């Protein structure tokens, strides 16, 4: 198993997109990329922590490749939008790829360069690519939130 971590706006929809992919064995949502120990949701939305809302994905590379996960990442959000996705605004919604290995870093950089050069967007890709750092799991109420909501649980 390998891990991948992506920030692409509100983590609920990001997680939901990755949960549907064959070869993804587990997902969770949380916070990464900030400077604050054990942030909670309210700390992050107050914009005092520097964290991005992220979905962390555990996947079987024999079934789904990191490149395939990146292809989904690019499709589910606007990577040219700085610190916002749709109605969600703030640095916590920035477009981020957090790499867990040097190989992921190289693949992510090549993928971003190829997309930027493709002409598919009128504006440059603003997605940040960094090494993975401390991951702070969001409260249970945020885990698989859209799934729970569709079943009438919580939210």
Phi, psi of 61 (to 5 degrees): -65, -15
Phi, psi of 149 (to 5 degrees): -65, -40
**pLDDT value for 54:** 96
Q: Which fold has domain 2-150?
A: 3.30.1060
Position 155 confidence tier, pLDDT thresholds 50, 70, 90? very low
**pLDDT value for 86:** 82
Q: Looking at per-residue confidence, does 4 or 44 come out higher? A: 4
Phi, psi of 39 (to 5 degrees): -70, 145
Question: Minimal CA–CA distance to 51: which of 113, 98, 1, 115?
Answer: 98
pLDDT in tens, 80-103: 999 888 888 889 999 999 999 999
Parse the chain into domains and list their residue ranges. Answer: 2-150
Question: Which residues carry out catalysis?
Answer: 10
Tell me the CA distances in angstroms from 119 to 96, 122, 123, one per residue in order: 20, 7, 9
Here the tokens at position 83 are 């610190």
Residues 20-36 have a mean pLDDT of: 95
């Amino acid at each position: 198993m390998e891990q991948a971590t992506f920030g692409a706006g509100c983590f609920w929809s990001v997680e939901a997109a990755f949960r549907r992919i064959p070869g993804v064995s587990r997902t969770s949502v949380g916070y990464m990329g900030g400077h604050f120990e054990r942030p909670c949701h309210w700390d992050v939305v107050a914009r005092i922590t520097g964290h991005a809302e992220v979905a962390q994905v555990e996947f079987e590379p024999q079934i789904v490749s990191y490149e395939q996960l990146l292809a989904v990442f690019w499709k589910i959000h606007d990577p040219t939008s700085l610190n916002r996705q749709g109605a969600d605004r703030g640095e916590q919604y920035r477009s981020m790829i957090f790499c867990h290995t040097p190989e992921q870093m190289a693949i992510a950089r090549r993928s971003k360069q190829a997309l930027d050069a493709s002409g598919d967007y009128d504006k440059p890709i603003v997605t940040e690519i960094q090494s993975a750092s401390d991951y702070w799991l969001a409260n249970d109420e945020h885990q698989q939130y859209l799934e729970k909501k569709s079943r009438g649980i919580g939210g």
